[in-house]
Each structure stands twice: as C-alpha cells, then as structure tokens.
A and B are shown apart, each in its own frame.
Chain A
Amino acid sequence: MSATREVIQPRNPALNVSKNLKLPHSPGIKCGDFIFLSGMVSVDPATGQRKLGTTDSETRQILENMAHMLESAGSSLAKVVKINVLLHSMLEFENMNAVYREFFPTDPPARTTCGVQLSFGLKVEIECIALA
C-alpha cells in the first residue's frame, strides 16, 4: 500500500510564504511517517514580510516559525530527524549554533550546514525532515 501525500499549511496564514508570494512550492508535505518542509527563511509572523537581520535574529525567527509550521501539522521540533542549514557565510557558523542550541537542547537532529549564496540578502535558510 502506498502512503498518502498531503500538503501541510501553517495555522498562521502570514507564514504561508509560498502561497502569499505565489511561489511554486508547498510549505511542507506529509507522506508516510514523515513531514518534509520547504526551506524556511526569516519571515515576520505578524506581517508575512521577509525580516532581514543578523544571522542570530534570522536563525531565531526561522526556528520559531518552523516550530509553528510543524505544530500546525501535528509534529514538533522535538520530532525533527534531519536539518539542512544554509548560511550566507560559514564565518557565521558559531553565531547560528549559539541560537540553534536553544531550540534543540537535547538529542538534536542530524544536521548538515553549508555556506551558499541566498536570495534577497537573507543570511539563513533552514529545511527539515520530521516525524509526522
């Protein structure tokens, strides 16, 4: 029997970035045991606008929004199994880690981090796979 494939949506419509900006991706897909989230960037949950800041502030905003996204789909940060972090510069690796630790204090997910060029002057993008 094949697993069902279901699009997930954030409870807060302002955080439905792909819908609001008419981008060709879903916030996330639930399939089988897993939820696969699209890469998330720093977005203000009050206005839905991109919220550019420091690596520290963007990481915090993304992980708060990611918690909301996962909880909207019945999952949570504690159920994340794999994270990919994209940073504008690997010189900022420890700045990201400092905030990241607050969200994953014990038994953190497997993770890969790399330095890439991001769009719109953003400094951080994070995607994840979580248990549903």
Chain B
Amino acid sequence: MASAREIIRPPAPGLDMLAQFGYPQSAAIRAGGLIFCSGMTALNPETGEREHGTVTSEAHRVFQNLKLLLETAGSSLEKIVQVHALIYDRLEYDVLNRVYRQYLPHEPPARTVWSVTIESGFKVQIDATAQA
C-alpha cells in the first residue's frame, strides 16, 4: 500500500513561508514514518520578522522554531535522524556547534554542514528529517 503524504502546517503565523514571503514550500511533510522539514531560518514565530544576528543568536532562534514545528507535529528534537546545517562561513563551524550541542546533547542525529550562501543574508539555516 502506498504511503500517505501529509502537509504539516506552520505552527505559528510567522513561520508560514508561503504567507510571509510567497515561498512555494510547505513547513514540513509527513510521509513514510518520517517528517521532512523545510530549511528553517531565524524568523520571529509571531511576526515573521527576519531576526538577522550572529550565528549564535540565529542558531538559537532556528532551534526554538524547529522544536516548535516538530513538537506541534507530534515529534521532537530527540527524534531527528538527519540534519543539514547550512552556515554562511566555515569559520563559524565551532560557533554553530556550541549552540547545536545545547539542543541535541545526547546521541545527536546524523549531520552534514554546508558552507553556502543562504537566502536574505541569513547566517544559519537548518533542515531536519525526523521520526514522525
């Protein structure tokens, strides 16, 4: 039997990328026992304001938003299986890790860090795949 594909709605108005910015993407999709999240940036969850800052401040905001998204969808940070962590500069790798450890302290997920250009001048973007 084919698995269902279920849209997970944004857990707060500020995290609705379609409504806020017109981006053609869902917050997350649940399918085949997994939850696939769109890449998340440092957005104010109530207003959608882009909270540009340091890698540290943006990473904290991203993890808070990711936690909210996953928990609203019945999952959690502990259930993440894979992460793509995008940073704007490889030099900030250890800065990212310092925040990252606070949110994923035990048996952390598989991860790849990419040094890339992120939309709208953000310094951090994180996408996660989690157990549903």
Q: Which residues of A contact B (CB under 8 A)?
A: 32-34, 79, 81-84, 89-90, 93, 97, 100-101, 104, 107-116, 129, 131-132
8 Å CB contact of B25 from A33, A89, A108, A132: A108
Known: A90-B117, A97-B22, A104-B24. A111 touches B32 (CB 8 A): no
In the complex, whether B127 has a CB less than 8 A from a CB of chain A is yes
Known: A89-B117, A131-B2, A132-B2. A112 touches B86 (CB 8 A): yes
In the complex, whether B7 has a CB less than 8 A from a CB of chain A is yes
By the criterion of a CB under 8 Å from any partner CB, how many residues of chain B are at the interface? 29
Cα-based distance from A132 to B1 in the complex (angstroms): 10
Known: A90-B118, A132-B2. A110 touches B24 (CB 8 A): no
Closest chain-A Cβ to B111's Cβ sits at a distance in Å of: 14
In the complex, whether B55 has a CB less than 8 A from a CB of chain A is no
7 closest A-B pairs by CB:
A115-B117, A112-B39, A33-B32, A111-B25, A114-B116, A82-B36, A110-B38
In the complex, whether B42 has a CB less than 8 A from a CB of chain A is no
Residues of A within 8 A of B119 (CB): 90, 93, 113-114
8 Å CB contact of A81 from B5, B39, B114, B116: B5
Residues of B within 8 A of A107 (CB): 7, 26
Cα-based distance from A89 to B119 in the complex (angstroms): 10
Cα-based distance from A92 to B7 in the complex (angstroms): 27
Residue in B closest to A86 when the chains form the complex, CB atoms: B116
Residues of A within 8 A of B39 (CB): 111-114
Residue in B closest to A88 when the chains form the complex, CB atoms: B117
Q: Is the CB of A109 within 8 A of B26?
A: yes
Residues of B within 8 A of A97 (CB): 22-24
